[in-house]
Amino acid sequence: MPSPSDFELSRRDLLVGASASAAVTAMPAMAMAQGAPAAVSGDSEAPVLSKVSFEVNGERRELDLDLRTTLLDALREHLQLTGTKKGCDHGQCGACTVIVEGRRMNSCLSLAVMHEGDAITTIEGLGTPDDLHAMQAAFVKHDGYQCGYCTPGQICSAVSVLEEVKAGIPSHVSADLNAAPEATGEELRERMSGNICRCGAYSNIVEAMTEVAGRPA
Ligand code: FES
Ligand code: FES
């Protein structure tokens, strides 16, 4: 049976052990503060590269990417397609929306290596300044932007939304009405709700989309 002094010893040992481990933990920070290189914790920090090949705006592109690279960073930083914007980088604003295999997607939420073989369309692939896509022309006509930061994502989303409506893919609105989706203002607003515009160009965006959908405003 252990005596009280054994317990005393154990407690002291524990305290000595705890301070030693705190000192060890603090060593890299102290070393860095003194200008010495800190030991890097091995392989977990080393990038793991992988080849990925996809079609961007009709052109086959092949990249060697860190597995952690998002599709957004692959487009912007590796392919210099900076039309696609980084807003929140957390799937909350829609500024990074691109069209992948015909469906809109927040490119900040998807790893590039998951898109092997996919067809990706960015704002640069929808139209050119001399030959605008119908949605781009409608945004210009209806003042569907102010600062323009959200606009590439809004336009990519808007193009996809009209395709979704045409394909009869239901939203909360059409499901609630128990009806086939139509490009009504309410339907369009609901479907575009993931694209935030800090300038508040929402009604102009809906007007632009309504015109492209061929409905009376
Ligand atoms: S940057 Fe992707 S959703 Fe905001
Ligand atoms: S136009 Fe400025 S954020 Fe939408």
Side chain identity at residue 190, one-letter code? E
Assess whether the region 48-125 and the region 127-217 belong to the same CATH fold.
no
pLDDT tens string 138-166: 999 999 999 999 999 999 999 999 999 99
pLDDT at 213 over 50: yes
Contact 159, 99 (CB under 8 A): yes
3-class DSSP assignment, residue 51: strand
**87 within ligand 1 shell (Cβ under 6 A):** yes
Write down the domain spans for the chain: 48-125, 127-217
Give yes or no for residue 108 CB within 6 A of ligand 1: yes
- Identity at 131, one-letter amino acid code: D
Lowest mean pLDDT among 8-17, 53-62, 86-95, 195-204: 8-17
Q: Is the dihedral of CA 190, 126, 100, 199 positive or negative?
A: negative
pLDDT band at 28 (very low <50, low <70, confident <90, very high): very low
- Polymer length of the chain: 217
Whether the predicted pLDDT of 1 surpasses 60: no
In angstroms, what is the span from residue 144 Cα to ligand 2's centroid?
A: 9
pLDDT tens for each residue of 87-130 = 999 999 999 999 999 999 999 999 999 999 999 999 999 999 99
CATH class of 127-217: mainly alpha
Exposed/middle/buried for 30, CB within 10 Å: 0-12, 13-18, 19+?
A: exposed
Distance set, CA 53 to CA 61, 97, 114, 217 (Å): 6, 20, 10, 42
Distance 66 CA to ligand 2 centre (A): 31
CA of 109 to the centre of ligand 2 (A): 21
- Which structure tokens are listed for 102? 């015909």
Q: How far apart are CA 144 and CA 201, in angstroms?
A: 6
Architecture category of domain 48-125 in CATH: Roll (3.10)
**β partners of residue 53:** 62
